Structure 1
């Protein structure tokens, strides 16, 4: 596969000639490298996207024509699934079954937005006016050049979440993947090249956030910025966008609560908690990292959770494991430091909390359950982004809701009970953009994804994701051949 930059439909070298090492987190070994784009490279990519939008065929195509390309991209991803899965395991560290699921979801995302692209051909909306001398319609049009900066936890899937709706809408795009996991974005570039997507419609620049990411977020030629990542970086992008009033969507951090009432099935609760926090090594923005359990169920549930967490197999993602390494040394050190800080602030480790024994290499952290932490402690309040769950008891429904909402984040939340009316009532009171009832983490391309408070701005997926890349234009027509007669009166 090509390791250069993909700009204007061509593979080009970075003007800096610098490269980014790609590390296998299971072995800590550098196994590849990619080009490191700088501001000059990003400028070339934005100009290519601008030329493609302003003067190329893409934005003027029908939705049905664009849908053909989106389906071809989906088919090529599916055809190259084994290769892409191998690369995701190598540079992200996730277990192979999880990577396979991600790639299947990416295929589904491109096919879903192909369907929505076709629907744009009949999207003009007639507006009822108070004066029948005029007629008016609302027209959906592509927003322009989009810049997308994606994270390392779901490399190709996060690219699909942004690229597919942007292309469906008729936008052109510059995509910057994380420097930690750049490989599958380059495979995506190779795929769009193979299906002969018009030059400049999708440009892929690999580079560091401080260089390529900053240049993209500050570029005056970008009409729209879409970012998934941390709150501090999202805040920086928001400030950059404010200078020229760019359209932005931000999907940021989370500290998602899961409320478990005493009438819940304990085995189901443990299963969903574990899926919510140990999937992808807990490196999920919506991860179930705060569990609130009603008093009478707290002890039995904690005992079962610890018992099952201790059974989880740990190892390289290409082996039969449920928990792989964290994505990088920096993330590994961050998670261990968060656990240590939690203990310092009074939390107790019910299980895990350190590196697994017998694994001299690789960025591994045991599945960790923390208890007895204070409400104001960092481990309870701040995103850890690792396989660490905090468990706390509650006495009343009101207390559970208060504890769940006591966070600067509001991405996701969950509630479990056999009482449907209570679940519905609590779900309405949880301040989060996504609420799960009797489950945690299922994500569907058709449904909106995004958060309240510091968890972000806007929604991805579904029709909401498409709307991120569309402008609404009013077109009003005067329907008489006579002068209006306001100034020229006879």
Structure 2
């Protein structure tokens, strides 16, 4: 069968998206608390990033909604924590089945809602199903502990779910990142209250519907999974402060993470943060430069540059700097900016006009600080919507704002370095430490630099390729805790030690005369 031309695929995608979005446009998008859709006294506008028209109206949660959701999560937790692991596994696989069945809907809705190109969103929806399947298979063994015998006692450990979890997720690839938090929390036996980002709330509604349907069919309390829309300053703050919520899993920028820590302190809230990054990609002169170039381009310009692990600082050894920068500039100029539902689009609109203005402001910063703008730096598509040109800053110094601050857009800052020690110094001279990428043909150098760079994750001669059993998270201002594998359960479960006496010895006597 011949593939349809791009124009026909775009038209088909637009027609399907229009149908999927009809229900969101026809009424206020509700919360889902204890399995029931609900509204609030307040609403907010959800904008279409392509033209900033009102996509739909969304209920804005406050104290009453958060309290109801937290109490519903308490009720759900009392049942869910005792559901056997084999049954939890089956139910989470059912959720994954439904995600796969609705993958097209999720991808098209999220592409419109977030501005992300459809070429990436289809994969993001399926990765969400993969997350649920991975943690479904963990559920039967999640409580297993260790046996630690001594001569006098048999010690053994158990892992037990901590309680209701508040999950606050971001607006970039929101569906996949929501499943990345929700799946392990449910596998652990915790209930959840999910507050999605107000700038891209719609795919969270679909996920909530799927989970509610699965739990209701299983005759389980719908309060296991709850959804409350709203703003971080109100709904997010109230969720963090609520005494029934035992932990907060948050993905977002670092300043918000520090606010959440302060808000959760009075209730000694456990926190799990995946925060910002200013990730270096270090290219040595002995690297495969073509592969390195392609990886650099993919990791900063895919997903509109709105990803925490983007290679936003390219550190290039001086001996190959001019050649590498020339190749980069030529490729960046050819990147296609367009409508997100167009299969040929490589960069869509940024999420919100406020964010687009922030990203655009860095062109002025670069010029003021003395960096060169090799290409980009302005609005694309005649200024309509939140479209920003793919931008390349070159000849930068690491002290510049464009090298220190997380821009979170299709913007790459290129910095030259002299030798291995210089590269490590520049890489570490930021407040962040999420990811790093190293390109070299020297195995010894790869190990040395990977050891010394301050990052929670390092890829050598590779872009970011996730392997679900491995730990994912950052150091310094880039996060607390780890996702992935069993590491995620450190947030959602408590360790308990049980000691059984093995001999008949008496305790030391007290009060005996």
**Equivalent residue for 1:41?**
65
1:4 and 2:20 correspond: no
Question: TM (normalized to structure 2)?
Answer: 0.91
Q: What per-residue deviation string (whole Å, max 9, x for no partner) do you get for residues 430-460 of structure 1?
A: 1100101012222232221110101111111
1:27 and 2:46 correspond: no
**Equivalent residue for 1:127?**
148
- Tell me the SS of whatever aligns to 1:288: coil
Matches within 5 A, 1:369-408: 369-408=392-431
1:348 and 2:403 correspond: no
How many residues end up aligned between the 2 structures?
Answer: 482
CA contact under 8 A between 1:146 and 1:174: conserved in structure 2?
yes
**Equivalent residue for 1:176?**
195
CA contact under 8 A between 1:460 and 1:468: conserved in structure 2?
no
Shift of residue 360 of structure 1? 4.0
Shift of residue 21 of structure 1? 1.6
Q: What per-residue deviation string (whole Å, max 9, x for no partner) do you get for residues 386-442 of structure 1?
A: 011111111111000100011100000011011122111111111100101012222
Match of 1:81 among 71, 93, 103: 103
Task: Name the stretch that deviates more: 430-439 or 418-427.
Answer: 418-427
1:150 and 2:169 correspond: yes
Question: TM (normalized to structure 1)?
Answer: 0.95
Shift of residue 286 of structure 1? 1.4
1:97 and 2:114 correspond: no
**Equivalent residue for 1:13?**
39
Shift of residue 299 of structure 1? 0.6
- Tell me the SS of whatever aligns to 1:422: helix
**Equivalent residue for 1:329?**
353
CA separation in 2, counterparts of 1:105 and 1:460?
15
**Equivalent residue for 2:294?**
271
CA separation in 2, counterparts of 1:316 and 1:277?
19
1:462 and 2:481 correspond: no
Match of 1:189 among 196, 205, 208: 208
Shift of residue 466 of structure 1? 2.4
Shift of residue 194 of structure 1? 1.5
**Equivalent residue for 2:434?**
411
Matches within 5 A, 1:199-214: 199-214=222-237
- Tell me the SS of whatever aligns to 2:223: coil
- Tell me the SS of whatever aligns to 2:267: coil
CA contact under 8 A between 1:336 and 1:354: conserved in structure 2?
yes
**Equivalent residue for 1:229?**
252
CA separation in 2, counterparts of 1:375 and 1:90?
36
In terms of fraction of residues, the more helix-rich structure is 2
1:70 and 2:96 correspond: no
1:441 and 2:460 correspond: no
1:285 and 2:308 correspond: yes
CA contact under 8 A between 1:26 and 1:315: conserved in structure 2?
no
Shift of residue 484 of structure 1? 4.1
CA separation in 1, counterparts of 2:427 and 2:145?
42
CA separation in 1, counterparts of 2:304 and 2:264?
32
1:113 and 2:139 correspond: no
CA RMSD of aligned residues (A): 1.5
- Tell me the SS of whatever aligns to 2:441: coil
Q: What per-residue deviation string (whole Å, max 9, x for no partner) do you get for residues 245-286 of structure 1?
A: 111111111000011010112211110000110011111111
CA contact under 8 A between 2:212 and 2:225: conserved in structure 1?
no
Q: What per-residue deviation string (whole Å, max 9, x for no partner) do you get for residues 48-76 of structure 1?
A: 1112223xx21011211111111111110
Shift of residue 359 of structure 1? 3.2
- For structure 2, which runs of at least 5 residues remain unmatched after alignment? 1-22
CA contact under 8 A between 2:366 and 2:373: conserved in structure 1?
no
CA separation in 2, counterparts of 1:444 and 1:150?
21
1:248 and 2:267 correspond: no
Shift of residue 485 of structure 1? 5.9
- Tell me the SS of whatever aligns to 1:196: helix
Match of 2:388 among 365, 369, 392: 365
- Tell me the SS of whatever aligns to 2:415: strand
